[in-house]
Amino acid sequence: MATVLIVDDNADIRTLLATVVEMAGHQVREASDGRKAVEAAAANRPDLMLVDVEMPVLTGPEMAYELFLRNFGLEKIPIILFSGIVGLYEIAERVGTPYFLGKPCSPDVLLGMVERALREHVSPQPKLGIRDGTGS
């Protein structure tokens, strides 16, 4: 069983994602924005983060950069970007994560990506320019 931190500003989406991930046997924690996610990760390091791209306070890419800067093991947490934003592949490249899913997706696709990220455990390697929220 892994601990997955789900980060999305939409409470309904967080609840839906949490339900699917919990049904697969994982423990779930939630955060409603990137800043709260950084604090939650620092307090109780999750095994994986499932992160929306567009959020208030800190976007998903900004949050990944913040974790990278803290450099206390938080930068090693795999991140799955989960968003309906156009250009998600390019944003995932700038964040330096091979894990990303477009919204909406089926529960099977979501769980497949969660299991892949947990198995491979590739940590993000943010590229320069990520601080503006989308990495452009």
User: What domains does the chain contain, in order, with CATH numbers?
Assistant: 3-132 (3.40.50.2300)
Does residue 120 surpass a pLDDT of 60?
Answer: yes
Could you tell me the two tokens for 123?
């940590």
Neighbours of 47 (CB within 10 A): 17
> What pLDDT, in 10s, does the model give residues 61-105?
888 888 888 767 788 999 999 999 999 999 999 999 999 999 999
- Mean pLDDT on 30-52: 94
Average pLDDT over residues 107-121: 97
Sequence letter at residue 71: N
Tokens read off for 55: 């959020």
pLDDT at res. 135: 41
Mean pLDDT over 6-32 rounds to 97
DSSP assignments along 41-55, one per residue = HHHS--SEEEE-SS-
The CB density around residue 102, as the number of other CB atoms within 10 Å, is 14
